Amino acid sequence: MQKKLTLGYSPCPNDTFIFHALATGIIPWPGGLDVTLADVEELNGLAAGGALDVVKVSTAAAAGILDEYVLLRAGGAMGYGAGPVLVARKARTLASLDGSDVAIPGERTTANLIFGLCCREAGIAVNRVPMVFDEVMPAVQAGRVDAGVVIHEGRFTFQKRDLVRVLDLGVWWEAHTGLPIPLGAIAVRRSLGEDLARRMNEAIRQSLLFARNEPEAGCDYIRAHAQELSEDVIRTHIETFVTDYSLDVGEAGMGAVSRLLAEAGCDREDIFIGL
């Protein structure tokens, strides 16, 4: 009998949309799943410690876990027009932040990696202040930091907090690479074997396809975990972060991940499962 697997993903609408059917047994998994929902940076830490069998991680964080984990082709967050946003209380330039305190949603996040690349290109140095993603905008509003990198639903709600965009990091990435921005991916322990990894990849694909075909089925599950309860924000969040790349990264998606991981100092070829 197959043992129960541990599965971790974030409470954000894109993840709960994708995983609802799998987590609730609509898409069955032999042996069952023990599900953990946690902030993406917490998940990055759990993956770094090898604490979960299957886990959603920031793509940047994958650079540090590929000895123990392999990435699936399904279930991730990737696309165009979906990047993190650097915000401040008033209009300013990136260059003007030289020497400033800037909040980041975790040191291992893709957002932090791309923000660092932007700063390097601009020739500036900032003091990055790590915090949980939903603490970033309040910290900027209160003046505890000079600016902040917002992710998830913050991309759609920062203006409601009277914050202004300094730089769209996704647009910056796309302009410099011509590639979609690879925000997050699903990692599976290599020790579980290629067959299980392929079956998990297909189960996640089927869970996403179910969600697309039966969009009302997971609404209560998604709302129960969402930080922002506005129906418009939840819908826009899902439409932005759940793309065809979430079904399969494809060649362009694998190229984007390889490029990002190279920027993180990881140059290897065995990143994804083979199908």
Catalytic residues: 152
Long-range contacts of 190-197 (CB under 8 A, 24+ apart): 190/68, 190/69, 190/70, 191/68, 192/5, 192/53, 194/273, 194/274, 197/70, 197/72, 197/273
Please state, in angstroms and rounded to a whole number, the distance separating the CA atoms of residues 74 and 23.
Answer: 15
Q: Tell whether the torsion through CA atoms of 167, 182, 153 and 138 is positive or negative.
A: negative
Contact (CB, 8 A) for 85 and 147: no
Rounded distance between C-alpha atoms, residue 140 and residue 148, angstroms: 6
15 token code pair: 């993840």
Please tell me the distance from the alpha carbon of residue 135 to that of residue 112, in angstroms, as a whole number.
15
- Alpha-carbon distance of 150 to 40, in angstroms, equals 13
Residue 266 corresponds to which tokens in the numbers above? 């990881």
CA distance 182 to 261: 10
Structure tokens, 80: 């165009």
Say what angle helices 110-122 and 250-263 make with each other, to 10 degrees.
Answer: 60
**What is the spatial distance between Cα 70 and Cα 54, in angstroms, rounded to a whole number?**
10
Instruction: Provide the token pair at 240.
Output: 């932005």
